[in-house]
């Protein structure tokens, strides 16, 4: 996942639900990928069951790689090569970026979720993260209630070359405000909670300036 020179609009980065049915979700995902250009998909299951994660990864890899879309996984570094995935999304900020790069090599996609910390984001970039994500952007009862403010993305886009992802609690208004200041929008529950995820995704993309 790379940052294009002067992109006209942010790219889309899809995040799977924490739980989904293997009988239906791959088709839902495929429809989204067929109707909207997507740069990356993140497998973000809540389960710690290795077999369930493996079966989900196998199913989604068929969908994404057939469409030349990268597939990364939350946290599970050791599963990346075994499952034929493109990389990993780390949830501990910058702390394990360096060791993960050593483990997976230069070709793997390594992203780092840095919550609301610009310092953590800069450290992740210095340690060779391919992208940094901040969030949640919208109000949330999760965590300590902190949100990643607009000025964080404004500053980052002006000062830092590492691509940035805005994720968590996004809506039409926030997407409109952030479109000029982020490289990727990480969309998950914003679309999967809807009856027609592909249609909702298309609507959100249309709000980008």
Higher-confidence residue of 6 and 177: namely 177
Instruction: Name the residue among 91, 21, 37, 116 with its Cα closest to residue 69.
Output: 37
Say if residues 146 and 138 touch (Cβ distance below 8 Å): no
The pLDDT of residue 155 is above 70:
yes
Provide the token pair at 79. Answer: 């599963």
Sign, CA dihedral 121-160-33-167, equals positive
pLDDT tens-place string over residues 91-135: 999 999 999 999 999 999 999 999 999 999 999 999 999 999 999
Whether 5 has a pLDDT exceeding 50, the answer reads no
The mean pLDDT value for 14-40 works out to 98
Domains located in the chain, CATH noted: 11-206 (3.20.20.70)
Tell me which residue of 64, 54, 75, 52 sits closest to 26, measured CA to CA: 64
Do 41 and 59 meet the contact criterion of CB atoms below 8 Å apart?
A: no
Q: What is the mean pLDDT of the chain?
A: 94
Q: Looking at residues 32-41, what average pLDDT do you find?
A: 98
pLDDT at 87 over 70: yes
Residue 78 has pLDDT above 60, yes or no: yes
The mean pLDDT value for 136-156 works out to 89
Q: What is the pLDDT of residue 144?
A: 79
Longest dimension (CA), the chain: 44
Residue 9's pLDDT is what?
86
pLDDT exceeds cutoff 90 at 70: yes
- Do the Cβ atoms of 87 and 110 come closer than 8 Å? yes
Is the per-residue pLDDT at 8 higher than 90?
Answer: no
Q: What is the mean pLDDT of residues 157-170?
A: 97
Q: What is the pTM of this model?
A: 0.94
Is pLDDT above 60 for 89? yes
Q: How, if at all, do strands 184-187 and 87-90 pair?
A: unpaired
């Amino acid at each position: 996942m790379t940052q294009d020179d002067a992109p006209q609009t942010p790219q889309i980065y899809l995040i799977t639900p924490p739980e989904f049915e293997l009988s239906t979700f791959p088709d839902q995902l495929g429809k989204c990928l067929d109707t909207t250009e997507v740069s990356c998909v993140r497998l973000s299951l809540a389960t710690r069951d290795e077999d369930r994660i493996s079966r989900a990864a196998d199913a989604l890899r068929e969908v994404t790689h057939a469409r030349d879309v990268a597939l990364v996984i939350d946290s599970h570094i050791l599963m990346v090569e075994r499952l034929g995935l493109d990389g990993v999304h780390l949830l501990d900020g910058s702390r394990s970026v360096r060791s993960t790069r050593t483990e997976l090599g230069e070709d793997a996609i390594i992203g780092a979720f840095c919550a609301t910390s610009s310092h953590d984001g800069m450290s992740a970039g210095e340690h060779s993260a391919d992208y940094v994500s901040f969030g949640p952007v919208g109000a949330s009862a999760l965590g300590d209630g902190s949100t990643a403010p607009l000025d964080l993305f404004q500053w980052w886009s002006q000062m830092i070359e590492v691509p940035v992802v805005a994720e968590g609690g996004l809506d039409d208004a926030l997407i409109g405000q952030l479109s000029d200041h982020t490289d990727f929008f990480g969309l998950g529950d914003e679309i999967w909670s809807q009856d027609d995820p592909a249609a909702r995704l298309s609507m959100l993309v249309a709000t980008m300036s």
